[in-house]
Amino acid sequence: MDLRQFLSILRARWRFIMLTLVLGVALTAGLIMVTPATYESKATIFVSTPQTGVIDTPTASLTAQQRAQSYAQLAMGGEVLQEVADRLGNGVTVADLARQISLTVAPQTLLIEVQAKANSPELAQQIATVMSDEIIRMVKQLETPSDSQLPAPIIARLAGKASFNRGAVAPNIPLNAATGVVLSLMIGVAGALLREVLDTSIKSTEDVGALTGTEPMAALPFDATVKDHPLSSDLSDGSLNEAFRVLRTNLVFANLDAKRQTILVTSSVPDEGKTFCATNLAISMAKSGRSVLLLDADMRNPSIAALLGLENSVGLITVLLGRATIEQAIQEHPSGVHFLGTGPLPPNPAEVLDTMAMRELVRRLRDAYDVVIIDAPPLLPVADAAILLTEVDGALVLVRHGSTTREQLRQAFMRIEAVGGSLLGTILNCAPMSGGYGYGYGYGYGYGYGTPVASTGQTSVQPGAERGRRARR
């Protein structure tokens, strides 16, 4: 990963990083507020020989240093601490003192430093004073020879009285706050990098190109106004309209010799915006002066009629059953697009699509229009789109930025290859315009069908599955 990729990840995941930073700062502030103030007092004990008050020989100096280390260890024993606790009173226990007192022997010196901490400066000073007295008493008791006529070889004296400091040593608010901010930021960045590594969704045209060998035919930018104005004629974002014009042009140049085109619009899984794309592609092509028929072949969750404000009660099924002619079932939208809905929803959509009557209907529509655009269900949940692939020139596969995974797209291509279908290209939907992760329009399915089996290109179907829920635009 180079610096450019690293910065790109930070830019894309900045919301996660900021959320982690805010939570970390809040947690740090909470810990600072609940941490009681701690005060410290220090006293110094000097170990020496009684003859001169200072150590004047190397051997005596080494002996005194070794003794000082031993005194520090002995003083933290239970007997000395119990004496200190008895003198202090106020319910102070040996366990409390063991946490509050620390003894340090400075290297190459004869000084024992007593450090005492408490929740008030007065108590800290008192603990340091009493502890120093008890250490001196202990040294005197240990070093006094049995023959009282002989001087003690080592004595301990108070070199520095217990200090009194009104300033609390903990919590260190500036240090703790800075540490909390730095740690929160580091956790946020590390989390962003980890999410990027674990995220298998498609987030760029390069990701699509790596799987298909070619980059998408168009990238539809995210536009929040699509939920309220789903048709390209109503879109306020000129860049989205331009994306459909680019897609229209690329489809023309994809097969210059074809005077008529039959295009299947599908996706790997639900919620990738295929109905939105199919509808607006039809409108864009109609604006170019071509005769366009938009066929809703999604008999599990038909949505185009509601999108266009047209009727869906008469349509494809009505024609196949012979209850109406094609001309009677087709409706015209003000944009110039001719629309053929699904009609009454059958209990067996896949079987209906896989009939000679359906194939004949598609051929008749192809002969009657310059462009026939078919909105089909997703490839992976059900077999409908795979059946229709054998009757069209090719498929456009929607890929939703930050949602469709590489494995889902790979399985969708395997499904197309398994039936001998042709892939016209892919469309990257909801592409962010500023490098961030956007999640925009689309609609959901509630198929309830079995999971797809990529190795065979088949789908396990459960009879009586629910049809799904209506489009949310």
Residue carrying the six token digits 């063991």: 98
Helices then strands, each counted (H, E), the chain: 17, 14
CA 392/CA 56 separation, integer angstroms: 105
Choices 3.40.50.1370, 3.30.70.1130, 3.10.450.30, 3.40.50.300: CATH for 39-160:
3.30.70.1130
List pLDDT tens digits, range 238-260. Answer: 778 888 999 999 888 877 667 78
Q: Which residues contact 376 (CB under 8 A, 6 or more apart)?
A: 264, 265, 266, 274, 297, 298, 384, 385, 388
**CA-to-CA separations, 170 to 33, 117, 404, in angstroms, rounded:** 11, 10, 51
Question: Is 50 exceeded by the pLDDT of residue 31?
Answer: yes
Question: Is 90 exceeded by the pLDDT of residue 91?
Answer: no
**CA-to-CA separations, 397 to 112, 227, 431, in angstroms, rounded:** 78, 21, 15
CA 101/CA 116 separation, integer angstroms: 5
pLDDT given for residue 148 in this prediction: 62
Residue carrying the six token digits 């007295």: 133
pLDDT given for residue 234 in this prediction: 60
Question: Is 90 exceeded by the pLDDT of residue 286?
Answer: yes
pLDDT given for residue 60 in this prediction: 65
CA 91/CA 200 separation, integer angstroms: 61
What would the mean pLDDT of 195-215 be, rounded to a whole number? 82
Residue scoring higher pLDDT (205 or 96): 96
**CA-to-CA separations, 419 to 8, 46, 268, 360, 383, in angstroms, rounded:** 39, 93, 15, 19, 10
Question: How many CB atoms within 10 Å of residue 27?
Answer: 13
pLDDT band at 59 (very low <50, low <70, confident <90, very high): low
Do residues 389 and 419 touch, judged by C-beta distance below 8 A? Answer: yes
User: Any idea which architecture 202-459 has in CATH?
Assistant: 3-Layer(aba) Sandwich (3.40)
Percentage of the chain beyond pLDDT 90 is 55
Token pair of 192, please? 């962003």
> What residues does each domain of the chain span?
3-35+172-195, 39-160, 202-459
pLDDT given for residue 256 in this prediction: 63
CA 144/CA 153 separation, integer angstroms: 8
pLDDT given for residue 89 in this prediction: 86
Tell whether pTM > 0.75.
Answer: no
Looking at every residue in the chain, the average pLDDT score rounds to 84
pLDDT band at 233 (very low <50, low <70, confident <90, very high): low
CA 353/CA 446 separation, integer angstroms: 20
Give the distance, in angstroms, between the CA of residue 448 and the centroid of all CA atoms in the same chain.
27
